[in-house]
Amino acid sequence: MTGASVYDKKHFVAGGLSGFDLMVAFIFAINTVTMNEIISSYLENQTCANICSVDSEGLPYCFSCFYLFDKEKGLLYFKSSPDTFHAKCLIANGNVAGTILPDKLDKLKVKGLQFKGEVFLNGQQFTSRSAQLYHRHFPMALVIPGEIWTIKLSCIKFTDSTLGFGRKLHWEAEKPVELPV
């Protein structure tokens, strides 16, 4: 199913669906698109993430950072010094969770994204261009010491009241296929 057909109401009506069935089919179609366009567009248009890691005592520790979303690979990049407390937490345990709110809040349009993922320092196993892409988007970051980190997203919950009150879209990364031994 392509992104264009997902939002084409005529496609569903022509298929014999109407009323409640049409709404259910539309919602199902939105949720089944790979990293659907609504979520991708939101990630591309925001700049700041709040990321939570866990310290050596198992306590949560949060930090904020500027990020760049690589739509092609579905990765988040951010820059931070390996000497920071949160970097030490990330090196010890790469599992993260986070939130991304709109850069400009509108109290009448509730939007926000929650994610889980795994973080990698210098994410070279995913892309050798992470630093180039990040610094092209945030050129002022060239003068700030630090390394580029990569978050491989595993799941996302996106709330967007402009799609309907309390409307949530979900996305999960494909699980690797396990071959029998």
Residue 107, pLDDT score? 81
The CA-CA-CA angle for residues 32, 36, 41, to 5°, reads 165
Which percentage of the chain shows pLDDT scores above 70? 76
Domain edges within the chain: 1-33, 35-172
Write the pLDDT tens digit of every residue in 37-69.
999 999 999 999 999 999 999 999 999 999 999
Write the pLDDT tens digit of every residue in 170-181.
999 886 655 565
- Of 8-12, 35-39, 64-68, 78-82, the poorest mean pLDDT is in 8-12
The CA-CA-CA angle for residues 78, 125, 98, to 5°, reads 35
Write the pLDDT tens digit of every residue in 129-144.
889 999 999 999 999 9
How many C-beta atoms surround the C-beta of residue 85 within 10 A?
11
Topology of the domain comprising 35-172? Pnp Oxidase; Chain A (2.30.110)
